[in-house]
Amino acid sequence: MTRRNFNTIERCAILILDKLAREGRPIPFALQKKLSAAELVSWFDADHWPTRHELGGTTHPSNGQMLLNRKGARRLGWILGLAQLDEHGHKTNTIDKPAIAKSRRIVAKREDIEDNRRRMLAKGEPVDYAHKEERAKPKRKMRGQGFRKRPEGAKYNWAKGGRLERMDK
């Protein structure tokens, strides 16, 4: 009888169980026996990290990490009594999307500056960015209502518990 080796899905499931145990949120052994390897692997998504795919990241395993997806968050949250956190969706929406948008804005601004420079050189005009006028920063406006003004002729009387009295009586 020959010994059967683990297939790729089973190896991934072993790594995921190991990851959860190291993070302090192990799946109980009785439940591990009931789960299939494919079901456990379907709870996780691969994410490009540290170099995002948008910025030239590869699909090599050294540029990846496994994050809990929405389906896995629901199941593990119910099983382990943890908060249901969609790790992959949360990271994508709070870290990846803003960083990608910023990098796109920076690239677009650079391309715009280069296009203007090329146009000016094509016309034969000198390109000098040093004499650009800097915009004056607008003054900050005071926020809020400010202090309430006391009515004309009113005086603060400490002896009577701080009531306002009319002085023109």
- What is the per-residue pLDDT for 98? 92
Task: Tell me the per-residue pLDDT of 108-153, one tens digit each, with 9 for 90 and over.
Answer: 999 988 888 888 788 877 666 655 566 677 777 766 666 666 666 6
- Report d(CA 78, CA 90) in Å as an integer: 19
Please list, in sequence order, all residues whose beta carbon lies within 8 angstroms of the beta carbon of residue 63, skipping any fewer than 6 positions away. 48, 49, 50, 51, 57
β-strands 163-166, 154-157 pairing? antiparallel
Left, alpha or beta for 129 (phi > 0: left; psi -120 to 50: alpha)? alpha
- What is the per-residue pLDDT for 165? 57
- Report d(CA 67, CA 96) in Å as an integer: 14
Q: Please give the share of the chain, as a percent, with pLDDT higher than 90.
A: 4
- What is the per-residue pLDDT for 76? 73
Question: Which phi and psi (to 5°) does residue 116 adopt?
Answer: -65, -40
- Report d(CA 66, CA 88) in Å as an integer: 8
Q: Which amino acid is at 4?
A: R
Q: What is the mean pLDDT of residues 22-29?
A: 83
Query: For the whole model, what pTM was predicted?
Result: 0.52
Q: What is the mean pLDDT of residues 77-91?
A: 72
Distance from the Cα of residue 54 to its chain's centroid: 16
- Report d(CA 46, CA 59) in Å as an integer: 10
Q: Which of 17-31, 49-63, 117-131 has the lowest mean pLDDT?
A: 117-131
